[in-house]
Amino acid sequence: MSDTLSRRDFLGTAAGVAAGAALAPRVAVAAPAVHIRPPARPVAIASANGLRGVELAGKLVSEGADTLDAAVEGVKIQELDPNDTSVGYGGLPNEEGVVQLDASCMHGPTKRAGAVGALEGIKTPSVVAKYVLLYTNHIMLVGEGAKRFALSYGFQEEDLLTERSREIWLRWRANRGENDDWLNVPEDSQMVARPTGTINLNCVNPKGEISSVTTTSGLAWKIPGRVGDSPIIGAGQYCDNDVGAAGSTGRGESNIMVCGGFLTVEHMRRGMSPTDAALETLRRVMAATAPRLLDEAGTPRFQLNFYAVNKNGDFGGAALFPSRYAAFDGQTASLKDSAYLFERR
C-alpha cells in the first residue's frame, strides 16, 4: 500500500470497486471437461503378465500405501522373476547378447515423473526410475549414466542373463541367416515369433490418487541402444491425477508415433470410457502406420495393447488383435478380455 494513500481514500476506493463489481456483467466460467468423483474402491490394471502385480498393488493401496509405491511393487514381481523373459532379470537381450532395460513412472498427486533407458546390470529398472523421480530434477537418465546413478544409491550390478534367456539368444544367433558362419540348430516353439514383452501397471486408490509405471527388457535381439516406448513419458505410460492413467505393451515404435499413453488419457478427459479411449488411440495408430507394416489386406503385422483407468475407478483394455489384461476390481484379481480392432487371420 502507498504511504501517500490515506486510510479513508483507500476504503472509499475499495468500496467503489466492490460496487462496480456488483454491477458488472457476470462472465461465464467454463465447466471442466469431465466431472469426476473419487472411486469407492482401490483399482489396479495391467498387461496380462501382471496378474500377480495387480493383486499386490490393489492390496497395498487398500492398506493405505502410496499409489506409486504400490505400482512399483507390483511390477517388481515380474522384474525379479527369472522365468519371465520380457522384463528385468532374465529378460531377452539385444543382438549382442546384452540385456538393456527401460522403465518409467508417474506419480499423479505430485505431478512428477522418472525414467531410465538402456539400463544394464540392474534387475529393477522401475525402482531406479522412481529414484530419478524422487531425488533429481530430471526425468530421464540413460545408459552408463543411469547405471552409475543406480549404483550410487546402493543397487547391485548383476548379470541379467539367465541360462534360459542365454539359450534362447544363442538359438536366435545361430539361425538368423542361412549363409553366415553360424551352424543352424533345431528350432523350438520359443523361436516361432520374435519375442516382445513389457508390463504396464496403473492404479488408483479410494481417494482418487493415481500412479502408473511401465517396465521392459524391450524387443528381443534389438539393435544395441534401441529404446522403445516404455521409458517415454506420454507413450509407454501417462498419468494425470485429475483424469486417469494409461499405458501400453507391444510394438513400441508404433506407440511412440502417436504418444499413445498421453492420447488415451486425453480421450478420457473428453469423457470417453477407458475402453473407448484405448480403441480410439489404436485407430490413430492405424492412421499413422506405414504401409510396410501392413499386410496385403491392410491389417497390421504387429500387436499393440493399451490399458486405462480413470479417476472414478473405471478401467478397460483394448488391442489391435484379441488379447487379455489383468485387473484388480477392489476385491479380486482376474484376467479380462480386451476390446480389439481386428480378428486374427
Would you tell me how many other CB atoms lie within 10 Å of the CB of residue 24? 8
Give per-residue pLDDT as tens, 126-165: 999 999 999 999 999 999 999 999 999 999 999 999 999 9
- Rounded CA-CA distance 9/219 in Å is 73
Split at pLDDT 50, 70, 90, the class of 124 is very high
Identify residue 18 by its one-letter amino acid code: A
Give per-residue pLDDT as tens, 20-60: 444 444 545 554 555 567 777 899 999 999 999 999 999 99
CA 235 to chain centre: 7
pTM for the full predicted model: 0.86
Number of structural domains (the chain) is 1
Across 65-90, average pLDDT? 96
CA-closest candidate to residue 230, choices 114, 93, 89? 114
Q: Is 300 exposed, middle or buried (0-12, 13-18, 19+ CB in 10 A)?
A: buried
90 within a domain of the structure (yes/no)? yes
11 within a domain of the structure (yes/no)? no
| Beta strand pairing call for 140-142 and 112-119 | parallel
30 within a domain of the structure (yes/no)? no
Give per-residue pLDDT as tens, 171-208: 898 887 666 655 566 665 444 345 567 999 999 999 99
55 within a domain of the structure (yes/no)? yes
- The residue segments making up the domain with residue 152 are 43-337
3-state SS of 30-91?
CCCCCCCCCCCCCEEEEEHHHHHHHHHHHHHHHCCCCHHHHHHHHHHHHHCCCCCCCCCCCC
Cell 478401467 locates to: 315
CA 120 to chain centre: 20
CB 238 within 8 A of CB 246: yes
- DSSP secondary-structure letter at 172? H
CB 276 within 8 A of CB 6: no
Alpha helices by DSSP H, listed for the chain, are 7-23, 51-62, 67-79, 125-135, 143-152, 163-175, 252-256, 260-269, 274-287
Look at residue 11 in the predicted model and tell me its pLDDT: 43
Cell 519371465 locates to: 84
CB 220 within 8 A of CB 289: no
Q: Looking at residue 199, which CATH number applies to its domain? A: 3.60.20.30
75 within a domain of the structure (yes/no)? yes
198, 214, 249, 264: which is the annotated catalytic residue?
198
Active site annotation includes 249:
no
* Whether residue 239 has pLDDT greater than 60: yes
- DSSP secondary-structure letter at 8? H
72 within a domain of the structure (yes/no)? yes
CB 338 within 8 A of CB 325: yes
CB 238 within 8 A of CB 262: yes
